[in-house]
Amino acid sequence: MEFKLVWSDEFDYEGKPDPAIWDYEVGNHGFGNNELQAYTNHEANAFVKDGILHIRGQKERNQDNLYTSAKLTTYGKKSFLYGKLDFSAKLPKGKGTWPAVWMLSDAMRQGVHWPECGEIDILEHIGRNEDQLHFSLHSKTYNHRLRNQYTSVHHIEGVTESFHDYSMVWLEDSVEFFVDGQSMAKFEKGMEGRESDEGAWPFNQPYYLMINLALGGFWGGELDKNCLPAELELKYIRFYEVVG
């Protein structure tokens, strides 16, 4: 199988993320998970320096209960359907940090509610379980509310200490996740006797990409304020279409 590079950010500039590539989701309403942070479009929370994208979660000065971070999105800029995503990332340390690189279908912005829209969790890390990585798919039929989502958890030493290479290969009937070139999980349509209707496998439509660092929340857990500021760092991110 061959792939062709069609989209990337090499972070070969300084300052705010490239507005031709990224937009921001902003707000402070818990995002369905009782998260603590307000997402902003401020450079203090998302910036490129020395060839690295920094997504920074921090406590705001002189405001005891205000935490800020950033969520970058490609919605309205670029959507994806089948191919390979590569990125190099260093994950934040600290209890209560919850970095993620993930995707929702464009249908989410067009009135189709979660989980019917589908969700692809390319990488999640919960700070209280350092070095434990989660790779998951959610759909109407299989999702975390039902506790039956497609998911796989792996312990990889040093993901908060140094950069590692992460990949996803997304085909019509499968999604596979890799760390440093090693396959971590492969989920296939209809695997293990699961239903394979649209409610079970909505991963056949355009999706947009998001990168964010959440703080706290139902899954993120109690936040250790002493770990702030915390950063999710990326060296590059690239998407390739299937050409053969």
Q: What whole-number distance in Å separates Cα of residue 215 and Cα of residue 220? A: 7
Could you read off the pLDDT of 67-98 as tens digits, one per residue? 999 999 999 999 999 999 999 999 999 999 99
Gap between the Cα atoms of 42 and 238, Å rounded: 24
Map residue 110 onto helix, strand or coil: helix
Q: Out of 35, 124, 231, 233, which one is annotated catalytic?
A: 124
**Which pair of structure tokens corresponds to residue 63?**
């405001």
* Measured distance CA(115)–CA(172) in Å, rounded: 19
Q: Is the pLDDT of residue 64 over 70?
A: no
What is the predicted pLDDT for the residue at 39?
A: 96
What average pLDDT does range 148-159 have in this prediction?
A: 97
Q: What is the pTM of this model?
A: 0.96
What is the per-residue pLDDT across 3-18, written as a single tens digit (0 to 9) for each? 999 999 999 999 999 9
Give the helix ranges, DSSP H, for the chain.
217-220
C-alpha count within 13 angstroms, C-beta hemisphere, residue 129: 13
What pLDDT is attached to residue 30?
73
pLDDT score, position 198: 78
**List 10, 25, 116, 119, catalytic entry:** 119
CB neighbours of 199 closer than 8 A, spacing ≥ 6?
116, 139, 140, 141
d(CA 132, CA 98): 11
Q: Output the pLDDT for position 141.
A: 95
Written as one string, the DSSP assignment of 53-86 is EEEEEEEPTT-TT-EEE-EEE-TTT--B-SEEEE
What is the distance between the alpha carbons of residues 165 and 169, in angstroms, rounded to a whole number? 13
Extract the tokens encoding 91.
């994950």
Rounded to whole angstroms, the Cα distance separating 151 from 134 reads 7
Q: How far is CA 5 from CA 8, 34, 86, 108, 109, in A?
A: 8, 37, 10, 26, 26
Nearest to 180, CA basis, from 164, 160, 201? 164
The verdict on whether 176 is a catalytic residue reads: no
HSE value, Cβ hemisphere, 13 Å, CA-based, for 87? 27
How far is it, in rounded angstroms, from Cα 16 to Cα 9? 13
User: Is there a contact between 98 and 125 (Cβ–Cβ < 8 Å)?
Assistant: yes
Q: What span, in angstroms and rounded, lies between the C-alpha atoms of 13 and 51? A: 7
Q: Is 192 a catalytic residue?
A: no
